[in-house]
Amino acid sequence: MDATLEPSPLPGTIAEAAYRLRTGTLTATDLARACLEGIARLEHRLKAFITVTEDEALEAAETLEAELKQGKDRGPLHGIPIVHKDLYDTAGVLTTIGSELFRQRVPREDATVVRKLKVAGTVMLGKTNLSEFAAGTSGTNRAFGDTANPWDLARSAGGSSSGTAAAVAAGLCLGGTGSDTGGSIRIPASWSGIVGLRPTFGLVSLHGCHPRAYSLDCGGPLARTVADVAILLNAMVGYDPRYRHSIRAPKVDYTAHLGKGVKGLRLGIVEGYTFRDVDQEVGDAIQAAADRLAELGAQVKTVGVPVLNDPAGHSSLLDVLLYEFNQILGAQYRAIENKEEMFEPIVRANILRGEAISRETYEKLLAERPKRMAAMKVVFREVDALLTPTTPTVAPPLDADPEVFDRARRFNLPVSFLGLPALSVPCGFSAAGLPIGLQLVADTLQEALLLRIAAAYEEATRFYRRRPSVHIAREPEAYT
């Protein structure tokens, strides 16, 4: 759990790598090869990957390197090594959704997000581990191994986007894709000490991404810094007619206002919610973050948000998720005879609970959604963004009780149901050296605002400069 400030010969951010690639102090091939060497050295400890695409990565890097020499520049992601959560389809490359059921599945076509990032010039290093079918927040996986947290290998990196988070935190790549249904980007970002963004529902196409729950799923980026997340988001967004929930939104450069600061912005602590049922260290870190934002010029005040304080809300919203999960996977699940051997316990439990939820109950819950969304619109007339913990605890042990991992969704699932954008940014460390995440929530299509707030806070605190005990920058003997 050592978290020292270590220099690295490799670029630590997308922006730094982009500068070095263009000034000739680094080539795309050397960068990809260094990352692949790091993966080879650390993967047996982290279990962050299901598939490493070494040959494809080096071939792509060579092509992109030649393009730069010829004056063809695809933009800030040209030559940048990233990873994809293994539920995004990748043409000709194994895509398992973390399940034994799809261990041999090889798609013919890239998911829209994969294609967009490829066109932007990224180099795919591999496909990352996840909870089976993105079910659960633990990042454990019986078929492909439990993803360990680089800050403490006995603890969870968070799920379900566990592999991407661990790979980014350990410096094995400069960013990656995740998906978020009830917190699967934000939870691993918090527990792994990186930045993760769940965009507005429908802003990022999920065509070619295996669904967990149609009404809640979002795709988004994870990276070390806020600016890197903004750069990735620029490449990921856009209307896609092949994705039924895709929305048409004004074109935005999410990097444009990162340096504007927070002076004059109104930030809300939610009465009876932000500090309810959170561990002391987490609560203290969130309060310190609110105080720091106030020092930077934001107006921080307490607001009432009844829609977030419904005591039955979490359970009922989970019913939406599990009903849809059963609709998506249930038929395949019931056709398998050896269910205990094929599926993780959490998947079996999710299907059984989903089967028990009536269509009437499900439709009634969905019918409440517009009313809840309208209530949030009223809140955002009073404040520009809300402050909560990302998770009420730091990363628990990998073998913690399921109830511990269920608790992680407390501040995430309600935001998912409302379709709002939310970002997790590091805001401190526990006494044991484990990261703590601050969640920022804003109105729909206000990703640029969230990134602006997070960037100001990140620059003022610089928690991103700390390195976990398992990191590519460390010498090999540090892991023995």
Based on the residue annotation, tell me whether 138 is a catalytic residue of this protein. Answer: no
Q: Which residues contact 167 (CB under 8 A, 6 or more apart)?
A: 39, 46, 48, 49, 83, 125, 128, 173, 176
Token readout for 46 is: 């982290």
Catalytic, 85? Answer yes
3 state SS of 416: helix
Q: Does the annotation mark 160 as catalytic?
A: yes
Give the containing element (helix H, strand E) for 329: helix 313-335
Q: What is the DSSP letter of 32?
A: H
Write down the catalytic residue from 131, 138, 156, 160. 160
Q: How far apart are CA 272 and CA 373, in angstroms?
A: 20
Who's near 7: CB < 8 A, 6+ residues apart? 473
Give, in order, the Cα–Cα distances in Å from 261 to each of 14, 33, 264, 268, 384. Answer: 21, 37, 9, 17, 13
> What does the DSSP assignment read for 178-221?
EEESSSTTHHHHHHHTSEEEE-STTSB--TTB--S-TTT-EEEE
In angstroms, what CA-CA distances link 142 with 73, 146, 347, 480? 42, 7, 12, 25
Taking the C-alpha atoms of residue 192 and residue 169, their distance in angstroms, rounded to an integer, is 6
Q: Which residue in 138, 156, 162, 184 is the catalytic one? A: 184
Q: Which residues contact 430 (CB under 8 A, 6 or more apart)?
A: 281, 282, 394, 436
- Judge whether 276 and 255 are in contact, CB under 8 Å: no
User: Where in the sequence numbering do the catalytic residues fall?
Assistant: 85, 160, 184
